[in-house]
Amino acid sequence: MNRALALSFSQQIISLLLVSGLLMPATLNAQETFRITAGEWPPYLSKDLPHNGFIARIITESFALENITVQWQFFPWPRAMVYAKSGKSEATAIWRFSEKRNRIFLYSAPVIESGNVFFHLKTRTFDWNNFNDLKGLTVGATSSYSYGDAFNAAAEKGVFKIHTIPSEAVNFKKLLRGKIDLLPSNKFTGNHILKYKFSPQQAKKITSHSKLIEPQSLHLLFSRMSGNSKYFSALFNRGLKKLKQSGKFDEYIQSGLPNQN
């Protein structure tokens, strides 16, 4: 075997070992931390919360079980995704599945199941089984948030009016003023906003419906442009499984989601 053929063969072997996870990528040795971008979504994710929120804690400790240190970087949600897409970070957390994103990112195993509910004023009698029950109502939405394909389809068909703005907190103000009839939000996130950004008197005026809007799993996303996305995704999935088996996964959720009544 001549030198060129031997070198080519060696490179093929190294590539196979990287893909199979038997050899650690050289880039891991070159970097001290694994960077993950995210947006503010308390109590799940926030730079102002202990451990950066309980979801960040779950992700960080899942990686730690595989000897990887995580660095969290918080930005507006669209920028968090763009940075991961462009390679300025190795991953972004946490997102629903979509076909469009699936072409760009490699999805981890589900981190947590989640769903939105409709918030409304207590003075409004409201019940719903499907989106047709929202006919004639005005629904507030927050840009860059995902409420599911069925919600989007109903909005596009004009089943209900939709007003979209960048701030969920401002949407709650609009709800209080009667500018919108309903506001879809994660139950715990919505209650967190009401508790910390509104007076108790204001918060008492708002309630939420128990029916979930298209519950879906949420995932850590790894850019497919990175040659190491499969390797790191496999490590995270393995660490997440270990964390669940240890019982700490459930412990962190229970401690991170107060007022679960």
Q: What is the 3-state secondary structure (H, E, C) of 88-153?
A: CCCEEEEECCCHHHHCCEEECCCCEEEEEEEEEECCCCCCCCCHHHHCCCEEEEECCCCCCHHHHH
Is residue 138 within 8 Å of residue 177, measured between CB atoms? no
Reported confidence tier of residue 13, pLDDT bands at 50, 70, 90:
very low
| Residue that has been written with the tokens 């050289």 in this structure | 26
Tell me, yes or no, whether 202 and 140 share the same domain.
yes
Tell me, yes or no, whether 239 and 187 share the same domain.
no
Reported confidence tier of residue 98, pLDDT bands at 50, 70, 90:
confident
pLDDT at 7: 44
Tell me, yes or no, whether 167 and 225 share the same domain.
no
Reported confidence tier of residue 261, pLDDT bands at 50, 70, 90:
very low
* CATH number of the domain bearing residue 72: 3.40.190.10
Least confident of 33-37, 92-96, 110-114, 253-257: 253-257
How many helices (H) and strands (E) the chain has is answered by 11, 10
- Any residues with CB less than 8 A from the CB of 52 and at least 6 apart, and which? 38, 45, 46, 60, 72, 74
Reported confidence tier of residue 3, pLDDT bands at 50, 70, 90:
very low
Tell me, yes or no, whether 78 and 199 share the same domain.
no
* CA–CA distance, 105 with 81 (Å, rounded to integer): 10
Token code pair at residue 134: 């929202």
- The answer as to whether 51 is a domain residue is yes
- The answer as to whether 13 is a domain residue is no
Name the residue with higher pLDDT: 25 or 255.
Answer: 255
Count: domains in the chain: 2
Question: Which of 185, 200, 215 is at the close of a domain?
Answer: 215
Is residue 106 within 8 Å of residue 148, measured between CB atoms? no
Tell me, yes or no, whether 95 and 122 share the same domain.
no
- The answer as to whether 107 is a domain residue is yes
- Which residues pair with residue 206 across a beta bridge? 121
**Ramachandran region of residue 130, left (φ > 0), alpha (ψ -120 to 50) or beta?**
beta
State residue 218 phi and psi, 5-degree precision: -115, 145
- The answer as to whether 26 is a domain residue is no
Reported confidence tier of residue 258, pLDDT bands at 50, 70, 90:
low
* CA–CA distance, 256 with 53 (Å, rounded to integer): 7
* CA–CA distance, 155 with 23 (Å, rounded to integer): 49
Tell me, yes or no, whether 128 and 170 share the same domain.
yes
Tell me the pTM: 0.74
Tell me, yes or no, whether 109 and 222 share the same domain.
yes
Is residue 20 within 8 Å of residue 56, measured between CB atoms? no
Reported confidence tier of residue 32, pLDDT bands at 50, 70, 90:
low
pLDDT at 214: 86
Domain that includes residue 121, residue range: 115-215
Tell me, yes or no, whether 247 and 197 share the same domain.
no
- The answer as to whether 16 is a domain residue is no
pLDDT at 148: 85
pLDDT at 115: 85
- The answer as to whether 1 is a domain residue is no
pLDDT digits (tens, 9 = 90+) for 103-130: 899 999 999 988 899 999 999 999 999 9
